């Protein structure tokens, strides 16, 4: 009963914190996708990848409306 009351009283704060954390994760993901690094390590996550060549990124078509 007490935890439900806490959520009801602090719902705006919890929603703000969740939104900020989600934005940070989205920003990090976008940074990693655009980076030219082959090995990425962030906190406890490790990734080894083969990025696209720079000329392939420029020729990728996007569908803009």
> Could you state, in order of their start, the residue ranges of all structural domains in the chain?
2-58
pTM to 2 decimals?
0.57
Q: Name residue, tokens 């569908």.
A: 63
User: 10-52 pLDDT, tens per residue?
Assistant: 899 999 999 999 999 999 888 877 877 888 887 788 888 887 7
Burial of 32: CB neighbours in 10 Å, binned 0-12, 13-18, 19+: middle
- Report the pLDDT value the prediction gives residue 21, as an integer from 0 to 100: 96
- Report the pLDDT value the prediction gives residue 58, as an integer from 0 to 100: 59
- Report the pLDDT value the prediction gives residue 14, as an integer from 0 to 100: 92
């Amino acid at each position: 009963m007490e935890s439900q009351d806490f959520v009801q009283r602090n719902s705006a704060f919890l929603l703000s914190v969740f939104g900020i954390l989600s934005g940070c994760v989205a920003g990090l993901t976008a940074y990693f996708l655009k980076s030219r690094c082959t090995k990425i390590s962030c906190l406890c996550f490790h990734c080894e990848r083969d990025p696209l060549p720079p000329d392939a990124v420029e020729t990728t078509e996007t569908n803009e409306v």
